[in-house]
Amino acid sequence: MPVSFRVRNPVTLAFSCAFIIVLLQAAVVLGGFPATLTLERAFPVNHIIELSKLRDRDSYRHRRILQQQSSSVGVVDFQVEGTYDPYLVGFYYTKVQLGSPPKDYYVQIDTGSDALWVSCASCNSCPTSSGLQLPLKFYDPSKSSTSSKISCSDQRCSQASQSGCSNNQCSYIFNYGDGSNTSGYYVSDLMHLDTGSSSSSTNVVFGCSTWQTGDLTIRDRAVDGIFGFGQQGLSIISQLSSQGIASDVFSHCLVGSDSGGGILVIGQIMDPNMVYTPLVQSQSHYNVNLQSISVNGQTLAIDPSTFAISDNQLGTIIDSGTTLAYLVQDAYTPFVDAITQSVSQSVQPIILNGNQCYLITSSVSSIFPTVSLNFAGGSSMHLRPQDYLLQQNSKSMGGGAGIWCIGFQTSANQGITILGDLVLKDKIIVYDLGNQRIGWSDYDCSSSVNVSTGGRSEVVKGGSGQFGSNSSLQITRYELILMLIIASLLHFALAFSGSSN
């Protein structure tokens, strides 16, 4: 949002006046333009230089340009809102700026898909309002001076996810795991990036959605689109990395409390307690090799092949676009049985809507066991009770009692284990594409983090993104140009008035 010039706000007015004075001073310098630039030759006139020396000089200059380019790779920071709690929001989302002039679009963070897409102006089934109190917008290619459609013959069309061709226009159809669908066409336009101390923009390819079904159309939790952070096709992380704008690693740290929010950066969050496991090669998702599950330190009797990738099994996937967590049936049953047996003396097990739940009268942390997910490479992800349980807020019994249910669900007949936000929250998760590995560590995601990229390190604040919290001091490029014009006019008006007197 622009700086406010309302007279009823004295602090804002003082800031605005000071800003205009600075602009006036800048206009005086520009108007006088007293500087003289001198061109100095690298070699004297009529002096014969060997070609090899010229090549050496050019080579040095080219290395310097490349070094400057590589050092420009910075941390790209996205504000995060939302929460894992399905009774509140059920997902995390961020804001992206697209087009010229730039407009804000709120998109769900999803590491289980590749493409970024937003609702298009020609969409008839897209939601027009959101129960999340977000100002939904429709992207209109005709209203952006930097927008262009991707033709079927464009090389980028063949690289894009689920691409097809319609009327010589590169199109797509996305089918999501919850049964929702969207289709549309690909466009190229500017994405405006927050790189900490500065901002930049670059052309990226993304989807313009003209049709949506399923949960995508539900108004209660509607957003403008989905931000796919996958590693295939023309995902934004792949595009920015190939352009040398950002590194090929990104990280998130999702706050698990009701306030939600968190951190999402293109860069590697550094933590001394980070552990890693290799990514399974040649997979379209972020597959990892889960080998066993332990409850209270005891490894469950689950055949390791249960989690393997085969003709009818998809293995284990880390997916921020999934709210809960899912286990294949052969792992789900022994997991629930082990939890129930561990707490049978302290709680009352009950079945609620087909889910295993427990009536408790004290803190879950003092009753329920810790769980460990053990991966290839010897790394383990340790889960607290609140990382695998969900409180039934609507089922509060009063008097300190409450009902908590197993948040893990069974993925019967699907042969897939998915680790969603339920277990990813309150942890730093690093997707290191360059080294083909995923890392994690327990962390208070409301705290600041150190992010490394391109040989540099930056500090990124944690907690809720609070979209627009500093909007009163943000000025767009177009508003700045307008203010400069106004300042220049004021300068010449004052100069003309002075000469008349």
Strand 427-432 to strand 249-254: parallel, antiparallel, or no bridges (unpaired)? antiparallel
- Predicted confidence (pLDDT) per residue in 174-230, tens digit: 998 888 999 999 999 999 998 766 678 999 999 999 999 999 999 999 999 999 999
Tell me the three state secondary structure of residue 341.
helix
Residue 128 to residues 27, 263, 286, 290: CA-CA distances in angstroms?
Answer: 44, 28, 32, 41
Q: Which is more confident, 398 or 360? A: 360
pLDDT at site 454: 72
Question: How many other CB atoms sit within 10 Å of the CB of residue 25?
Answer: 12
Q: Using an 8 Å Cβ cutoff, are 30 and 490 in contact?
A: no
Q: Using an 8 Å Cβ cutoff, are 324 and 340 in contact?
A: no
Kindly tell me if the per-residue pLDDT of 413 is higher than 90: no
Mean pLDDT of all residues belonging to the chain: 81
Report the C-alpha gap between 436 and 278 in whole angstroms: 6
Residue 443's closest CA among 367, 494, 384?
Answer: 384
Residue 239's closest CA among 195, 201, 208, 287?
Answer: 201
- Predicted confidence (pLDDT) per residue in 281-294, tens digit: 999 899 999 999 99
Residue 469 to residues 37, 109, 132, 196, 474: CA-CA distances in angstroms?
Answer: 43, 21, 17, 16, 10
Kindly report the pTM of this predicted structure. Answer: 0.78
In this prediction, residues 348-376 reach a mean pLDDT of: 93
Torsion of CA 240, 173, 417, 360, to 10 degrees: 100
- Predicted confidence (pLDDT) per residue in 242-261, tens digit: 888 888 999 999 999 989 99
Report the C-alpha gap between 383 and 419 in whole angstroms: 12
For residue 261, report the phi and psi dihedrals to the nearest 5 degrees. 85, -160
Q: Using an 8 Å Cβ cutoff, are 342 and 364 in contact?
A: no
Report the C-alpha gap between 86 and 220 in whole angstroms: 12
In this prediction, residues 366-393 reach a mean pLDDT of: 94
The catalytic residues are 110, 319
pLDDT at site 457: 81
- Predicted confidence (pLDDT) per residue in 73-131, tens digit: 678 999 999 999 988 899 999 999 999 999 999 999 999 999 999 999 999 889 999 99
pLDDT at site 155: 92
Strand 76-83 to strand 91-98: parallel, antiparallel, or no bridges (unpaired)? antiparallel
Which of the 8 DSSP states describes residue 386? G
Which of the 8 DSSP states describes residue 270? E
Report the C-alpha gap between 398 and 402 in whole angstroms: 7
Q: Which is more confident, 456 or 352? A: 352
**Residues in contact with 300: Cβ distance below 8 Å, sequence separation at least 6, in sequence order:** 292, 293, 294, 331, 334, 335, 338
Kindly tell me if the per-residue pLDDT of 438 is higher than 80: yes
- Predicted confidence (pLDDT) per residue in 118-147, tens digit: 999 999 889 999 999 999 999 999 999 999
pLDDT at site 44: 46
Phi-psi region of 228 (alpha: psi -120 to 50; beta: other; left: phi over 0): beta
